[in-house]
């Protein structure tokens, strides 16, 4: 009942993904990408009723895009898809599995906890408008303690750092730091792989004043690089700043695979 999705499944799947959220869904925008990337799993009865995409990186699996036809919910289809993903992870000797769940999505949280996932961290999503602004004081970081900052967000996946990634980020000036009065904030910049002109930022906020410098830099950077959207993910709750809007908060769920 679980198989790899194929392109002809797209129309059937998108029919039950249209109203996932109050604003719709994004599956139609990432379907082709997920399909080409592989590990797009589909649960079928007479026709597709559920999907789940899995991304492997280093020693972890990232589970995303769980969607179930509303008619077939509460039949443990989502759990079956997650278990299928975990079984492949175990075959690859992966040690942990992650997924991201809206803190208000009680049904998905219940499902995850029933499968022994625990809340690992809580993250906040903010949107920021680009704006020409030269009033900031930041530096390009050339060393990052990966023990203290073990992951960054890339296309809404929490990815572990490795030596090659860090080296690339240093060379491309993708790690920004602001230090004021002995406190510092750090931002890691990546391009969205799914949406054009979208900058995704992993922000570690050490203080209000250093974060403000980072925010000003990001707004100007987006103008210079022709980004239309800035998406910021932060474990810290950020103070209200000009053009910074809190969108939603998520639990980063984690499970150790035996």
218 pLDDT more than 80: yes
- By percentage, how much of the chain surpasses pLDDT 90? 86
59 shares its domain with 14 = yes
Q: What is the residue whose two structure tokens read 């589970």?
A: 63
Paired residues of 244 in beta bridges:
128
pLDDT tens sequence across 122-153: 999 999 999 998 888 999 999 998 888 999 99
pLDDT band at 209 (very low <50, low <70, confident <90, very high): very high
228 shares its domain with 145 = yes
pLDDT number for residue 21: 74
Q: Tokens for 30?
A: 């990432």
Residues 53, 34: contact at Cβ < 8 Å?
Answer: yes
Query: Is residue 106 included in any domain, yes or no?
Result: no
Read off the DSSP letter of residue 194. S
63 shares its domain with 155 = no
81 shares its domain with 162 = no
64 shares its domain with 132 = no
* Farthest CA pair distance, the chain: 63
222 shares its domain with 130 = yes
Query: Is residue 254 included in any domain, yes or no?
Result: no
Query: Which residues have a Cβ under 8 Å from the Cβ of 75 and sit 6 or more positions away?
Result: none
Which range among 119-123, 146-150, 232-236, 239-243 shows the weakest confidence by mean pLDDT?
A: 239-243
Domain count, the chain: 2
Question: Residue 139 belongs to what domain range?
Answer: 125-249
pLDDT number for residue 51: 97
pLDDT tens sequence across 7-44: 999 999 999 998 777 777 899 999 999 999 999 999 99
72 shares its domain with 129 = no
Using DSSP, state whether 253 is helix, strand or coil: strand
| Residue 222 C-alpha from the chain's centroid | 20
152 shares its domain with 230 = yes
Q: Tokens for 123?
A: 């993250």
pLDDT number for residue 57: 86
234 shares its domain with 149 = yes
Paired residues of 125 in beta bridges:
233, 248
Query: Is residue 100 included in any domain, yes or no?
Result: no
Residues 225, 243: contact at Cβ < 8 Å?
Answer: no
CATH number at residue 31: 3.40.630.30
Query: Is residue 67 included in any domain, yes or no?
Result: yes
Query: How many residues are recorded in the chain?
Result: 258
pTM for the model: 0.93
153 shares its domain with 240 = yes
Task: Give the whole-angstrom CA distance, residue 52 versus residue 66.
Answer: 4
40 shares its domain with 132 = no
Query: Is residue 191 included in any domain, yes or no?
Result: yes
pLDDT number for residue 134: 81
Residues 38, 51: contact at Cβ < 8 Å?
Answer: no
Which range among 85-99, 189-203, 234-248 shows the weakest confidence by mean pLDDT?
A: 234-248
Among 94, 117, 134, which residue terminates a domain?
94
- By percentage, how much of the chain surpasses pLDDT 70? 100
Pick from 25, 234, 244: which is nearest to 122 by CA? 234
């Amino acid at each position: 009942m679980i198989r790899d999705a194929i392109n002809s499944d797209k129309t059937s799947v998108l029919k039950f993904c249209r109203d996932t959220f109050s604003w719709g869904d994004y599956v139609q925008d990432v379907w082709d990408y997920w399909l080409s990337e592989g590990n797009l799993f589909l649960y079928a009865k007479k026709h597709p009723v559920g999907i789940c995409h899995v991304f492997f990186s280093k020693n972890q699996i990232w589970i995303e895009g769980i969607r179930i036809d509303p008619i077939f919910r509460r039949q443990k289809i989502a759990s079956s898809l997650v278990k299928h993903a975990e079984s492949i992870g175990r075959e690859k000797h992966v040690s942990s599995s992650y997924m991201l769940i809206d803190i208000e999505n009680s049904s998905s949280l219940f499902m995850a906890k029933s499968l022994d996932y625990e809340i690992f961290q809580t993250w906040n999503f903010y949107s920021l408008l680009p704006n020409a602004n030269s009033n900031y004081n930041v530096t390009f970081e050339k060393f990052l303690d990966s023990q203290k900052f073990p992951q960054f967000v890339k296309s809404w996946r929490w990815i572990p750092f490795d030596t090659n990634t860090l080296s690339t980020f240093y060379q491309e000036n993708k790690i920004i730091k602001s230090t004021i009065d002995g406190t510092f904030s750090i931002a890691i910049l990546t391009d969205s792989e799914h949406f054009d002109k979208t900058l995704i930022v992993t922000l570690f906020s050490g203080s209000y004043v250093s974060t403000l410098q980072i925010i000003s830099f990001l707004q100007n950077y987006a103008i210079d690089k022709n980004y239309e959207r800035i998406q910021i993910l932060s474990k810290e709750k950020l103070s209200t700043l000009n053009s910074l809007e809190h969108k939603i908060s998520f639990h980063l769920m984690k499970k150790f695979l035996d």
